[in-house]
Structure 1
Amino acid sequence: MSTLGRIITLAFLIAAETTSTFAASPVTLGKNLTASERIPIARIDHVQWDTLVKKYVNSKGMVDYERWQKNSSDMQKLDRYLDHLSEVIIAADAKKADQLAFWINAYNAVTVKGILREYPTTSIRNHTAKFFGYNIWDDLQLIVDGKSYSLNQMEHEVLRKMQEPRIHFAIVCASIGCPRLLNEAYVPSKIDQQLTSNAKAFFADPTKFNYDKTMKTIAVSPILDWFSEDFGPTTAEQMQRIAPFVPKEAHDLAGGGQARVSYLDYDWDLNDQAKK
């Protein structure tokens, strides 16, 4: 082998060893069950999650991570809820309302669990390694119907494919720039009402939506930019899609399709009651 060949081979070996050293192993939540032990999605009960968020999340969606983390009983209750989610069978004919409630709650509960594992921390971005090491969005995984789902998979491979753009005002990545974390569980019987309510709360927040009727301008959360295709093929259609949820005075401006649209900065600070 030539000197150059030896150098190239050595470089590949070093790179492989480095990747092996720093690549993160998945952190698995929930439990493995046989097919006979699983239950239909309609029988999944979100009451444990409802109890927890009522206790630790305020009306603005801010979480008391510090108090939650110190309560070993409630930490165990969260783990039991995640175990319960693993019991589900996702049938092809499952009702959309059941699936939306299940996956939104699952995403939010896994995110909270992920933050509680790291707390104290100032941002979820502190735990999202881009190349080597642990990335909470990819490596924190929940077993659902015998398969492991990361947060990214829940969002992009499941929820977004349901063609319900209001999910973007319901799933919460533990950041101030996110929609508020609802302090009740999403449930199939009122999922439509809950999604609409949280969408309206999102656009009522001037850090996520503001406008000038005289100048015909709208400034909106970058969530509408990042996931623009979920709201429509053009900016005008995207604004028309959110028009029912924006403050009443801005309905015509958003729905008219003529506004100049810009995107606000995103606040990645933790949605922590102790900080805000």
Structure 2
Amino acid sequence: MIDFEPWDRLLHQYVDRKGRVDYFAWKTEQPQVLDDWLQSKKHLHLNSQLTVMEELTLWINLYNAFTISTILKQYPLKSILPNFLGIPNWLAFLWFFQRPIYEIFGNRYSLAQIENQILRNKLKEPRIHFAIVCASIGCPLLRAGAYFPEQVMQQLDEDAYRFINNSQKVYYDFDSQKLYCNKIFKWYRQDFLQVAPSIPEYINSYLKTDLPLSAATQISYLDYDWSLNQRIS
């Protein structure tokens, strides 16, 4: 199992309580620390006897560390969705997730492989959608600390609670009786339906206020903000 204390220290230093990342300070003060740490791990042997909690911890941390490492190399940038002459470059955007450039355990992985093949298909944990980040404002907020096996289930519950009770991600309009949701609930609908009868009922299980939500509740999906989730120093 990888020692995630160095990653944990970096997150505590450069991520605030609102999940915003101070990329400017990070790149100015410690531009190579994260990348060097990841490079030092690429030839490690993957233990085949890891528990589910250890695997969740391992791959959530690696996904986020790989993402932030890539953003630091490209920083400064305004959005993770590139554009050319004002037109979104979806090909370059998809390549960000699909290219197998991350070396670990003697193999190369893409972010999409880690997310889909391991975290979703193998571990089948829908709460990872509130934990892994693409570095945009629309995605989950980055936790100001690493995940650890003895805490990961509680951490994922905290992530789900924080995401669902954030009015920029989820809110209910009493006048229209419509539930407005982040598009994560659309894109990964089937993951959430593995553990709940409907999306509104899944959301309701984490809300801190009692809302009249049921399988019949109408859903509208919010526009996704691909702007970089950053804190301005």
> Does the pair score TM above 0.5?
yes
Residue 63 (structure 2) aligned to one of 94, 97, 107:
107
What do you get for the CA RMSD once the two structures are aligned?
Answer: 2.5
The one of 216, 219, 224 aligned to 2:180: 219
Q: How many Å apart are 1:135 and its aligned residue?
A: 2.6
User: What is aligned with 1:145?
Assistant: 105
The answer to which structure has the higher helix fraction is: 1
Q: Give the aligned length.
A: 228
Correspondence for 1:89: 45
Aligned to 1:261: 219
**Structure 1 residues 63 and 140: alpha-carbon distance in aligned structure 2, compared to 1, 3 A threshold:** farther
Evaluate the alpha carbon distance shift between residue 173 and residue 209 of structure 1 in structure 2; reply closer, same or farther with a 3 A threshold. same
Deviation by residue 1:189-236 (Cα, 9 ceiling, x = unmatched): 100111111111111211110003464321110000011111117995
Runs of 4+ off more than 6 Å: none
Deviation at 1:143, TM superposition (A): 1.3
Amino acid corresponding to residue 224 of structure 2 in structure 1: Y
| CA distance in structure 2 between the partners assigned to 1:175 and 1:274 by the alignment | 15
Q: Deviations over 1:136-171 (max 9, x none)?
A: 222362212111011111111111121100000000
Equivalent pairs: percent with the same residue?
36
Output the CA distance in 2 between the equivalents of 1:141 and 1:199. 29
The alignment's TM-score, normalised by the length of structure 2, stands at 0.88
* 1:94 partner letter: L
Query: Hey, what's the Cα distance between the residues in 2 that align with 1:133 and 1:115?
Result: 13
| Conservation of the 8 A alpha-carbon contact between 2:173 and 2:179 | yes
- The TM-score normalised by the length of structure 1 is 0.75
- Asked if the contact 1:236–1:258 (Cα under 8 Å) also holds between the matched residues in 2, the reply is no
Runs of 5+ in structure 1 lacking a partner? 1-40
Deviation at 1:95, TM superposition (A): 0.6
Which amino acid counterpart does residue 55 of structure 2 have in structure 1? Q
State the alpha-carbon separation in 2 of the partners of residues 134 and 230 from structure 1. 21
Higher relative contact order (CA 8 A, sep 6+): 2
- Do the aligned partners of residues 247 and 99 (structure 1) sit closer, same or farther apart at CA in structure 2, a change above 3 Å counting? same
Q: 1:96 to 1:195 in 2, by over 3 A?
A: same
* Structure exhibiting the larger radius of gyration computed from Cα positions: 1
